[in-house]
Amino acid sequence: MAALSGTLLNAATVLIGGFLGTILGDRLRQGLRENVVRGIGLFLLAMGVKFAIETTNLLYILGAILLGGIVGSLLGVDARLNQLGQTLQRRFARGSTSTVAEAFVTASVVFCVGPLTFLGSIQNGLSGDASLLVVKSTLDGFTAVALAATLGWGVLLTIPLILLYQGGLAIGASLFVGLLSDLQLREMSAVGGLLIIGVGLKLLSIRDVRVADFLPAIILSPLVVAAFRRLLEALGQ
């Protein structure tokens, strides 16, 4: 149940935000929405630094982020995710006189296709720590208000998707918790911290970091740690 705590909270905030947005309509000021997003961006920078500096060796996260970035770039993770969102948008929202389909597709991409979804779910599943999903839930709650105010109640249709998709990631990660050492889990968290910094920079419009291209770094970080440990053992250190 601990592995799903963040996902359940996320679904609840989207539910509340979607209802509020539907009721408020377009009366919610744009400036207020922008300030909320900027505030969360600043918070993410601080959180990312906190996680990143807990690494035991900078070479671990350097190796993971470089290899992960190369793999993600070759696979075109960021481009493929953007293409998926555009494809869904064209397929379900085109030619519709109602904004329900558009609201569902847009909210699905925003809530389920993003670094915090992967990072938060994996962390929640591995350690039971839902702190990242708490941040994501806060952001998604306010985003749900904004989207529902603009596009309508179709935003609420994403709740089952959040429960299935995000919850599935968390449960899947929990199955591997016994296979990873404390050091590997710690370095996964440190690498995730770097990616969170990238999300913060993006929300603050400082730099459009293609964070999704670096997502493979999280999966590769335990392998990088194991490789470095074996290398040090071979060198007698």
pTM greater than 0.75 (yes/no): no
Is pLDDT above 90 for 121? no
- Domain membership flag for residue 237: no
Is pLDDT above 70 for 177? no
Spatial neighbors of 141 by CB under 8 A, at least 6 apart, are: 13, 14, 16, 17
- Domain membership flag for residue 236: no
- Domain membership flag for residue 38: yes
Is 70 in contact with 183 (CB distance < 8 Å)?
Answer: no
Is pLDDT above 70 for 102? no
Q: How many CA atoms within 13 Å lie on the side-chain side of 176?
A: 14
Burial of 217 (0-12, 13-18, 19+ CB in 10 A): buried
Q: Which of 54, 56, 60, 55 is nearest to 231 (CA)?
A: 60
Spatial neighbors of 1 by CB under 8 A, at least 6 apart, are: none
pLDDT in tens, 33-79: 677 667 877 887 887 888 889 898 899 999 999 999 999 999 988 77
- Domain membership flag for residue 145: yes
- Domain membership flag for residue 33: yes
Q: Which residue range(s) make up the domain with 66?
A: 2-231
- Domain membership flag for residue 78: yes
- Domain membership flag for residue 135: yes
Q: What is the DSSP letter of 54?
A: T
Count how many domains the chain has: 1
Q: Which of 144, 27, 35, 158 is nearest to 88 (CA)?
A: 158
Q: Which pLDDT does position 97 carry in this prediction?
A: 47
